[in-house]
Structure 1
Amino acid sequence: MDDIVKNLLLRNAPSAQAEQPSQTEVEAAVRTLLRWVGENPDREGLMQTPERVAKAYKEMFRGYTQDASEELGRVFEEVAGYNDIVLMNDISFHSHCEHHMVPIIGKAHVAYLPDGKVVGLSKIARVVDIFAQRLQTQEAMTAQIADAIQSTLKPRGVAVVIEAEHMCMAMRGIRKQGSTTTTCTYTGIFKTDRDEQTRVMSLLNAKR
């Protein structure tokens, strides 16, 4: 694995050494932000906001407490001789940009070429969610999904394509609504064999 991919995989990995703040500390931080933007955290509409934000963050970033390899751990080897591409299109996800902590909204398309065993389709969607529910860059998320499937299932190849709109571009800065970004990662035969890469992309484009 080259150094660029390694860095993408490690850049938002949860730290085992990090001490998690208390609920009280989290709510105090939200109150500080409310005051900073010019609001009064004690007015009626905002009194419960710090508690709600803490609860929402726990849900939106629960990917830090989940392990993709565990989701992919149960496989099926009785596949009636099937050994061709498995492709899941249009797996919707919501993530958050690690630079501005605003939403990334998009779809992931995931394909793999089994090597004698397959995994339940819902597991692939859950792996997408695990990495989406962390602070992310789209490039890192694409590489992380591919690496998790490749290292756990050990298929002949994995292809991951993500298309997403970044609210850091739509809501701030240049404010360009509707602009999407596409990222791709290939492993195994999809990386080394151009014909196989073309075949999987043809399947993907046919569905799109």
Structure 2
Amino acid sequence: MNFIQKVRRKLFPPTEVIEGYENPELVETIFRKTASYVPVGEWPLVAGVKTVLDFGGGAGIHYKIARKQSPDIRWAVVETSAMVRRARELATNRLMFFDEIAKAADWLGEIELMHSNGAIQYVPVAIDTIKALCAARPATMVWHRVPITDGIVEPEVQTSFLSDNGPGLEAAGKDKLVRYARHWISGNAFVAAHEGYRVTERAADPREHGTQQFRFTRH
């Protein structure tokens, strides 16, 4: 997006609003942008890793990055039912999409890495989901862009531009606003939910202001 387009969007923002991550138009936008995206660079996190459960991995963008250096990696994306139905067109014998954590774990077998980037805050009951991920017993769990608070945990309404969702350049066509609930998570509750794991890394996440990144290792 060039400077003039950015100014125009700021001065004359879209008026049409779509709701939630299951919206078909949002799902289609993410799917098409992911399908056409060509990643560059390396990803040290997945070097040498054979199996990954990617929670909230959209239409498989993280897999497209990972397979550049690890072509044989097996990758299970856990997503909303709407995204899973659309993204299955991109599935292979090494990339699969699931709307249940247990089904993804069954397909992978032994899970070396659970990866999640900016997704857990959009789950209605985050702590229950974290416990379910821990029950799958990945060797390592890595979280990025987790909004952590030490105060009162209250959901907030967040909006984004439809064209900003998904990787790469914005999709063509009329832009819209996307609105969804975003939940702050108690830091103590987040760590405590990882039963059977110890925190090996915790720091502010430079990708998004006010969020943290974590690495947990299984005991």
Q: TM-score range by the shorter chain?
A: under 0.3
Instruction: Indicate the structure with greater helix content.
Output: 1
Scaled by the length of structure 2, the TM-score of the pair is: 0.24
By relative contact order (CA 8 Å, sep 6+), the higher-ranking structure is: 2
Bigger radius of gyration among the two: 1
Instruction: Indicate the structure with greater strand content.
Output: 2
Scaled by the length of structure 1, the TM-score of the pair is: 0.25
